[in-house]
Structures are given as structure tokens and as C-alpha cells.
Chain A
């Protein structure tokens, strides 16, 4: 019933588990504007879940609700079977939800390696005093984390820029570094805000491959936002379609593709 393009094994063959994240009746308002209107959907463990919709549909707002940057006025977020209390963004990150940003938020002055290492901050244990007094342990820990990070660097094919300050990299590579940093946190859920925006065809294909591989190899659950329909359909197991803050469709790509409301939202329809 679910499944993507031809190259993609059917969902049943992969390890797709029960729902890890549930959004229940989420409503988000900014003053008088309702950005998200009573939306519910779930994300299953191990799947690639897409949120699509035209510009201004509220996709990024939804992602920001999941990652704790926005707090919805109504509705509940259930994560791993528990209702989530109000959390700050850094607490959400510590629970295992990593993200990338539409406009890339990297540490421009730090090297690629250091940027990716920040992804592992929460997996490092040594306290500040221990680090100062017990240099050996801090060093061993650092080396172990470096090993993991190097693996991700290999995986995303960015070895050649490891030591380069991120500020000097071209756009496409920055996007890749941001993905690397998010993956370094070994997240339970990875949120990608328009990972393909502003890329040329070749870069898009690369990015698609990386996302699919990350999902296959690490079993990472991925929630991604795109407004490019084509990309999403090949990539995702299930798709939520939003328009003007409302959910207008939800299901596997082939069902959503032929949905009347979706076609209207994307192509425009004469009202009257």
C-alpha cells in the first residue's frame, strides 16, 4: 500500500514501525493569522514522511512546532508514546529530534569538522570539571566521537572540505554539511526544511540519494518539507499536503498525486 518509485523497496520490506510522533489537532496562530488550522497526522518509525504544499501553506511553521521553535496554541504533540510538555528548542534537540533550516543555520566561522562535531554535543558526557581535571578521559571521548563524525563525512562525500570554514563553501555543500551535523546527533527523527531548495538538478539528485541512504543505512525517521512535488513523490513513503494552513490530503504519494484537492491547490482553480 505504501512505497515510492521503482527503485524503492516497498515499505513492508523496510523496518517501518509504529507511530513515533503524533501531531494531534495542532492550531498555531500569530496574532490574527492562523498559520496552522487543526491539523493531525503521525510519523511512523523508520519512514520518510513529507509535508508539501504551495508557498505560505504553513509547512515550515509545522516543522517549527515539531522542533519546539514555535508553541501551538492548541493541540498536542505525542513523541514516543508520551504527551510532550512545553519544551524549549534545545530540549527538543536533546530528546533526539534534529533539524536543518530552510536558510541554512551553520556556524559560519567554524570548520566543517567542528560544525559536525557540534551535532554530537549532547552525546558527550564528561562534565566541565572532569574535562578540565581529567584530560585523558575527555580526549578519549573526543576521539571516539571523531570516529563517528568521520564516518558521516565519508558517507556524505565531504572529505575534501573537512577543514574549510563553512562560510567559504558554496551553497550546495553547506546544505550537505547541515545534513551531516543533524545526522551526527544520531537523531530519532530528522527534520529537513526544504533540503533541495535552490539546488540544480545534479545537486538535487545527490541530496535525494543522501536522504534515502541515511534512511536505509541508519534507519533514521525523516520528516521533510518540499514544495517541489516531483522530488517528494519519489522520496517519501507518505505525504501530508497542506494549503492555507489546512491539511487537504494525507497518504501514499500515488494516492495524493491524483487527489482532486491537491491538484486544485497546486494548479489553481477558478472559484465562483
Chain B
């Protein structure tokens, strides 16, 4: 096989892997949007916050250390112990659940029956708050996140492809793990939403608030549940991205890449978030590979948005979005 085609194949594979990471972020958006009609602008910051908290627990950082030191003239930084990874993940998840409770209690509760745009604005506020809060709590420096995920070149694939084609593919092992995790996440979320009573309650709330109340569903309980799940997805995305890029402020910006993914996949479809992510991932890698050299490169920065724009023109509800059923 000619090298060009093999190289394109490798690029495609890498694109798929990158796409999975976009999908992980998009998934969090879809969950909240489906259940409450809120476009949660804070999803990316939640991922950053989750990753920061995880690193903080792991390394035994003292929360609000800087603030405490300034106020009391002390010099505390670390507790002097480290937490096992699993315990740190559990503790972080607990923090995300508390955050969900607080968001419901302090933000959503007061905004029941408000227009979606108002709720959207509230989540922008939440994003800025959480960004600053994360900084104060854990410090603004770039941190290494190490949870024992494999990283670097997968030698098995490299050797196998070299044996078959005489050309070794470079696939990052972390990307493979991310793909497996994303698949497990989607399967379990789908099972949950289709076959459990809380899943059904969640879909009911997404569909009609009044009807949901009349069959005895507590809207507030469901919102806490949804935000907790979104917090969990944010944690997963934060771990993957944090391991890849280090835990730093720019993690919150990956949320922007989730936007074109959502426009492609549809705002209300969990499989849509995955397919959309894959299309964006493969699309931007292949485009860079094929067209990039002709236009001076750096097409990855804008390709996804252009693709989303084209989709908006021809299929505004996205590939898997709900068609609006209307009887007249």
C-alpha cells in the first residue's frame, strides 16, 4: 500500500481518538440540556474544577492554602500525605455531588419557570465563579495529573502495523483508554436512562415539567441527580484531558470545541455527542492533512466551526437531534 494512504489511515485513527475526547465533554452538555433544557456553559469549567480537585486530594494540598497564608501569615501548603488514586476520585466525586446540590439550591431553585436564556446566563455566571473558586481553592499553577493511566506510544499497535504494512502507526495508549472509557460511559448512561426508574423520571422531566409533577416526580431531586451525573462526566473528561495536557486553565476552553460537536450531533442525543465528536476529530485531522499544506496549515483551529456552520444551514437540529413533531 502506498505510504500516502497508510499515513491518511493513521491520521484518521488519531482523529477518531481525538474525537472521543471531544465527545466526553459534549456528553456533559447533552445530559443537562436533555433533562432541563439548560445549555450549561460551565461544563468545561466543571471538568477543570474536577481535575484540580482530584490533583489536590491526591497530592494532599491544603485547600485555600494561599488565602489562609495571606490572612493568617502561616505557611501551609501540603498536609504532608498523599491519597490513593481511587480514594481521591471518590472524594472528588463527593465534591461534585455537593456542587450539584448547591447549584440547585442557590441557582436553579430561584429560576424555575424562567426562560432558557436566563438560565443560560446563570450558567455563564457559574462558569466564571467556578473558575475563580478553583483558582483560590487549589492555586493557578499548572499541575501534573497522574492516575496510573497508560500513556505514550502503543508498541503493540506500532509493531503489528509495521509487520502488516511495513509502516508503524503511532497511536497514543491514553487515547485508546479514553475511547474505551467513553464507550463504557455511553453504554451505561443509555441503559440508565432507558431502563431504570430514575432514568425514566429524568426523561419525563426533560419532556414536560407539569406532567412530571402530576405523576409525582420531584423536579428538584431530578436536577440534583442530573447535575451530579454531569459532574461525574466532567470528572472523567477532566481526568482524560488533564492527563494529556496537564491540569491548567486552558482545560476549560476545550468546552468551546464541544460546541461544534453538539451542533453536528444534536443537543439532545447521547449517541449524537459521540458521533459528532468522532466526525469533528476525524474531519479536522484529515482536513489538516489534505488541505492544510495548501493554505498554510493551522486549519484545526477553525475547521470544526466551519463544519458546524454548514450543518446549521442544512440540518439545524443536528444529525440525531429531535425532530419537532407538530400536529396542526
Binding site for B on A (CB under 8 A): 67, 69, 88-91, 93-94, 98-99, 101, 105-110, 114, 117-119, 121-122, 124, 126, 128, 131-132, 138-139, 142, 165, 167-168, 170, 181, 185
A77 to chain B, nearest CB (A): 17
Q: Are B225 and A93 in contact (CB under 8 A)?
A: no
Q: Which A residues are CB-close (under 8 A) to B214?
A: 67, 89, 93, 98-99, 101, 105
* Contact in complex: B195, A142 (CB < 8 Å): yes
* Residue from the list B203, B210, B218, B327 in contact with A105, Cβ < 8 A: B210
5 more contacts with CB within 8 A, not counting A108-B208, A109-B325, A121-B204, are A106-B211, A109-B203, A121-B215, A132-B192, A142-B195
B158 at the interface (CB under 8 A from A): no
Chain B residues near A90 (CB, 8 Å)? Answer: 212-213, 216-219
A272 to chain B, nearest CB (A): 43
Chain A residues with CB below 8 A from B216, complex form? 90-91, 93-94, 121-122, 185
Q: Is the CB of A121 within 8 A of B218?
A: no
List of A residues within 8 angstroms of B203 by Cβ: 107, 109-110, 114
B155, CB-defined interface residue at 8 Å? no
Bound Cα distance A139, B191 (Å): 12
Report the minimum CB–CB distance from B154 to chain A (whole Å).
32
A118/B196 in contact, CB under 8 A = no
Cα–Cα, bound, A165→B217 (Å): 21
Specify the chain B residue showing the minimal Cβ separation from A139. Answer: B195
Contact flag A118-B325 (CB < 8 Å), given A93-B215, A105-B210:
no
Contacts of A138 in B (CB 8 A): 195-196
Chain B residues with CB below 8 A from A94, complex form: 216
Q: In the complex the two chains form, is B215's CB within 8 Å of A119's CB?
A: yes
How many residues does chain B have at the interface if contact means C-beta atoms less than 8 Å apart?
26
Once the chains bind, are A107 and B208 in contact (CB under 8 Å)? yes
26 A-B interface contacts by CB (under 8 A) = A90-B217, A93-B216, A98-B214, A98-B215, A99-B214, A101-B210, A105-B208, A107-B207, A109-B206, A109-B325, A110-B203, A114-B200, A118-B212, A118-B217, A121-B197, A121-B201, A121-B204, A121-B215, A121-B216, A122-B216, A124-B197, A128-B225, A131-B197, A132-B192, A165-B325, A170-B327
Nearest-CB distance from A90 to chain B (Å)? 5
The 5 A-B residue pairs with the shortest CB-CB distance, nearest first, are A93-B216, A105-B211, A167-B325, A107-B207, A89-B213
Contacts of A118 in B (CB 8 A): 200-201, 204, 212, 215, 217
- B285-328 near A? 1/0 per residue, CB < 8 Å: 00000000000000000000000000000000000001001010
Determine if B208 and A131 form an interchain contact, defined as CB atoms under 8 angstroms apart: no
Q: Which residue of B lies closest to A169 (CB)?
A: B327
Contacts A107-B204, A118-B201 given; indicate if A93 touches B196 (C-beta within 8 A).
no
List of B residues within 8 angstroms of A110 by Cβ: 203-204, 207
Please give the distance in Å from A224's CB to the nearest CB on chain B. 15
Q: Which residue of A lies closest to B324 (CB)?
A: A167
- Decide: B213 and A108 in contact? CB cutoff 8 A: no
Contacting residues, chain B, for A122 (C-beta < 8 A)? 215-216
CA A121 – CA B198 in complex, angstroms? Answer: 8
Chain A: CB-nearest residue to B211: A105
List the A side residues contacting B212 at CB < 8 Å.
90, 107, 118
CA distance A165 to B323 in the complex (A): 12
Interface residues of B in 69-120 (CB under 8 A from A): none
Name the contact of B197 in the complex, choosing from A93, A109, A126 (C-beta under 8 A): A126
User: Smallest Cβ distance from A250 to chain B, in angstroms?
Assistant: 27
Q: Min CB distance, B30 to chain A, in Å? A: 15
Residue in A closest to B196 when the chains form the complex, CB atoms? A131
- Which chain B residue has the least Cβ–Cβ distance from A178? B211
* Measured CA separation A98–B211 after assembly (Å): 11
Bound Cα distance A91, B211 (Å): 14
Chain B: minimal CB distance from A116 (Å): 10
Q: If the complex has contacts A124-B197, A126-B197, A128-B225, are A109 and B215 also in contact, measured as CB distance less than 8 A? A: no
CA distance A248 to B198 in the complex (A): 45
- The answer for the CA separation of A105 and B208 in the assembled complex, in Å, is 7
CB-CB under 8 A from A121, the residues of chain B are 197, 200-201, 204, 215-217
Q: Which residues of A contact B192 (CB under 8 A)?
A: 131-132
* Residue with the greatest number of chain B CB neighbours at <10 A, chosen from A88, A90, A93: A90
| Contact of A109 with B213 in the complex, beta carbons under 8 Å | no
A90-B213, A90-B218, A107-B208 known; A128+B322 contact, CB < 8 A: no
